[in-house]
Structure 1
Amino acid sequence: MFVDKAKIYVKGGDGGDGLVAFRREKYVPEGGPGGGDGGDGGDVIFRVDEGLRTLVDFRYQKHFKAKRGEKGRNKCQHGANADDMVVRVPPGTLVIDDDTGEIVADLTRHQQEVVVAKGGRGGRGNMRFATAKNTAPEIAENGEEGQERWVVLELKVMADVGLVGFPSVGKSTLLSVVSAATPKIGAYHFTTITPNLGVVDLGEGRSFVMADLPGLIEGASQGIGLGHEFLRHVERTRIIVHVVDMAGTEGRDPYEDWKKINEEIKLYNAKLEERPQVIVANKMDIPEAEENLAAFRKQMEEDGKSIEIFPISAVTKGGIQPLLYRVADMLDAIPDAPLLEEVQEVEERKVYRMEKKNEYDNDFVIRRENDVFVVESPSIEKLMKRTNFTTEEGVLRFARILRNMGIDKALRERGAVDGQTIRLNDYEFEFVEKS
C-alpha cells in the first residue's frame, strides 16, 4: 500500500517535578534543603530512513508522545532525563505545521533529523531556592509541559527520473521493461494511481531510480483528477521523461498532448519548466506512429523547441537502450542535490540570545469584564503551570513575581481596589493592597 500523506499528533515529554526534601543525616543538624531537580522530557525527533518508501506506518499509528522526565530525588539528586522518541520517515518527507501551515522541515537525506516537538524542562527542587534569608525553603517547581502539535506529512517521491504523460501512454509498461518493478498494467485510464519505483541497472556500476508517476490530465494544476497529489512527486525528479502516445491510439494529437502536460507542470510550479526533459515517442510499432512522429518534429521545429526525441516501443522493447544510456549521461552531468529552491535543508544552527535578569517577560495585557480584571500573559501562563499552589511558599513566590513584573501597579492604575476579583487563566484571585 502506497500512502503519501498523513496527519499525526506529536507531543514532547513533560518535565519531571522538582522535589521538596531536606537532609536528615544523623550528625548534620539543620542540614538544609536536599530536593533535586526533575528530569527533562524527551523530544520527538523525525529521522530519515532510506529503507522506507511510504508513509503507510502513519495510517495505523497517529499519536506519538515522548516520555516525561523523572521527578527530582532527595539528597540533591537530579531526576533522570527521558529518552527522545525517534520516528522514522522516508526520504522526501515534508513536515508541515497543521495550524499555521508553516514548513517545519524538508527531509531529503539519509539520517537527517529534526526535532518536531521539544520536551519540557524539569522543575527545580527546593535546593535551588535556598537563600541567606530562607535557608529551608519549601518551594519546588512543577515540570514544564512538552510542546504538542498536529503536523501533516507529505511524501514527494525521491527518484532520478520521473515518467510523466497522459494516462495509458505506456509509462508503466516502460518501467516494467527497464527494471524489475511490477506496476499494474491495464487497457484503461488511471491504471496507476500511486507512484511506482524501479531501479534501472545499465551494468558497469551505472544505475538510476525511475518513477512511474500517475497519469496527468488537462486541469491537473488546479487539482482536477487528483492533479496536485500527482504533480508534487514531479518536483523531486532530476530529469523528466515525457512519454507520448505517438500513434494517437485514443484519437488525440500527440503534439497537443505534450504541450498540455507541459503547461500543467508549468502552472503547478514554474521552476519545473527549467527541469531537463527528454521526449519518448512510444508505440512506434503501430503504423500511424511514423507519420505522426514526422509531424511532431515539424511542429517542434516551427515552435523553436529543441528537445531530444527517442522513438521506442515499450511492447517490443525497440529503441529503449539508446534512451536509457542518454538519460544516464544526463544524470551524470546534473548535481545530486534536488534542483528546486523550495527544498530546505535542516542544518545545525546555534542561536545566541541575551540573558535576561528576569526569567519572566513583562508581556501582560489587562482588560476588564464588568467587575473582573482579566490579566493575560504567556509568561504568567508558563509561571502558573510551574508553580505548586498547594504550598504557602509557592503562592507567596508567585505573588512576588507578579509584583516585580509590575502587575500590581498596573492593576491599581486601572482602578483595582481591595477585594476586587482578578482572573489569571482559569484561576481567580482577590486583589489585596500590600500594607
Structure 2
Amino acid sequence: MASDNFVDYVKIFCRSGKGGAGSRHMRRERHIPKGGPDGGDGGRGGHVIIRGNKQMWTLLHLKFQKHTKADHGKGGGGQQRTGGEGDDAYIDVPVGTIVRDSETNEILFEIDEHGQEEIVRKGGKGGRGNTHFKSSTNRSPDYAQPGEDEVEGWTILELKVLADVGLVGFPNAGKSTLLSVLSAAKPEIANYPFTTLRPNLGIVDYRGNRSFVMADIPGIIEGAHEGKGLGLRFLRHIERNSLLLFLVPADSDDIAKEYEILSNELRQYNPQLLDKERILAISKSDMLDEELMEEIKKQLPDLKTIFISSVARQNLNELKDLIWNTLDHD
C-alpha cells in the first residue's frame, strides 16, 4: 500500500569518526642524526551530517538503515605532515525534519531548506604532534596527543508534512474522502476511526494550470494535545501548513462546539497555530436543505464558512476558490 511508504518518525544511531593520533616522529636525516621532533598533527574524525533534500518526502529509507558511522581521522606523520581527515557521513532527509536528542527529547535543530547541512555528531579532533611540545627544557619530546574519541548515540528524526492546506477534524469527518475527490491521492477510506494513520498528501489542480498541496492530517480526538489517541504525532504535522481547513460533518450534534474542541486542541498544543488562516467547511451537506443551512449558520463561529459534499460534488469548486484566494491573500 502506498501509504506504508510514509514514515514520519525514526530513531537512528550515529557515530562520528575518532581523531587521528599526533605523531611522535623525530627528524632523522643523513647529516642530521638528532634533528629533534617533527611529528605532525592527526586528522579530524568525520562528522555525521544531516542534509535537507527537497526530492524526499518520507523517512522510509532510514527505517532500514538505522546505523550511520563516519570514518576515523588518519594519524600524523614525519616532517610535520598532518593526517588526513575522516570522510563525513551524510544523512539525507526531507525538508521539514526535526532532529531531537533521544534522551532529553530536546530539539537540536530543524531542516528547513534544501541543501541545509547540520552536524549531529562532531568528529573527534586530531591529536597534536610532538613538535607542539618542544620547549627550552625539553628539546626532544617523545610524546604526542592521541586523537579525541568518536561521539555516538541515538537520535530521533521527526517529519512535519509541508503543505499549503492542512485538513483538521475528528475521525470520520470526511477528510480522506474530500482529498480523494479534489486530488489524485488515494487515501484509505472507511467508516471507522483512525482510518488515516499517516498524513496523505494530494496536489489539487486549480484554474489556469495552478495547484496547491493539501494534507489529510489524521483525525484529532479530544485530549490529543496530551498525547491521547494518536495525538501529538498528528498535531506535529499541522504546524507546517499555511492554511487550516476545519472539517465538521453536517450530522454533528453541535457543529460550533466541535469546531471549538478542535481549536482548543490546537491552542493547547501550540497557540501560534491559531494565527494561521482558517476556513470551516461543513461536510456531508447534501443531507441539509436551505432552511437547515440557514439555521446552522446562525450558530457558527465568525470565520470563513462553506457547506460542501464530497460525495455529491457540492460546492467543491467554490471551496477551491475560497482556499486559493485565502492562500493568495497571504
Q: Shorter-chain TM-score category?
A: over 0.9
Aligned pairs (5 A) from 1:153-302: 153-204=157-208, 206-246=210-250, 248=251, 252-286=253-287, 288=288, 290-300=290-300
Query: Match of 2:325, SS?
Result: helix
Query: Match of 1:256, SS?
Result: helix
Q: Is the 8 A contact 1:254 1:292 kept in 2?
A: no
Shift of 1:217: 1.9
Change (3 A) 1:275 1:292: farther
2:285 corresponds to which letter in structure 1? M
Change (3 A) 1:289 1:230: farther
Q: TM-score, normalised by structure 1?
A: 0.71
Shift of 1:88: 0.8
Q: What does residue 311 of structure 1 align with?
A: 307
1:139 corresponds to which letter in structure 2? Y
Shift of 1:237: 0.9
Q: What does residue 111 of structure 1 align with?
A: 115
Q: Deviations over 1:294-314 (max 9, x none)?
A: 2321112xxxx3211122221
Q: Which runs of 5+ in 2 are unaligned?
A: none
Q: Deviations over 1:13-46 (max 9, x none)?
A: 1100112122222233322223221100111111
Q: What does residue 49 of structure 1 align with?
A: 53
Structure with the bigger RCO (C-alpha within 8 Å, sep 6+) is 2
Change (3 A) 1:290 1:269: farther
Shift of 1:192: 0.9
Distance 2:230 2:117 in 1: 30
Shift of 1:203: 4.3
Query: Match of 2:285, SS?
Result: coil
Indicate yes or no: 2:108 matched with 1:80. Answer: no
Distance 1:121 1:17 in 2: 9
Q: Is the 8 A contact 1:283 1:289 kept in 2?
A: no
Q: Is the 8 A contact 1:206 1:328 kept in 2?
A: no
Q: Is the 8 A contact 1:281 1:293 kept in 2?
A: no
Q: Deviations over 1:208-242 (max 9, x none)?
A: 21100111122222222111121111111111001
Query: Match of 2:298, SS?
Result: helix
Indicate the structure (1 or 2) with the bigger Cα radius of gyration.
1
1:43 corresponds to which letter in structure 2? H
1:260 corresponds to which letter in structure 2? I
Distance 2:326 2:54 in 1: 24
Shift of 1:161: 0.6
Query: Match of 2:222, SS?
Result: coil
Shift of 1:289: 5.8
Q: What does residue 39 of structure 2 align with?
A: 35
Q: TM-score, normalised by structure 2?
A: 0.92
Distance 2:186 2:66 in 1: 30
Distance 1:292 1:277 in 2: 23
2:146 corresponds to which letter in structure 1? N
Shift of 1:291: 4.7
Q: What does residue 430 of structure 1 align with?
A: none
Q: Figure out how many residues of one structure are paired with residues of the other and give that number.
A: 326
Cα-Cα RMSD: 1.9
* Match of residue 320, structure 1, among 316, 319, 325: 316
Distance 1:292 1:49 in 2: 49
Report percent identity of matched pairs: 44
* Match of residue 69, structure 2, among 52, 65, 71: 65
Distance 1:90 1:210 in 2: 17
Shift of 1:290: 4.4
2:254 corresponds to which letter in structure 1? D
Distance 2:303 2:127 in 1: 65
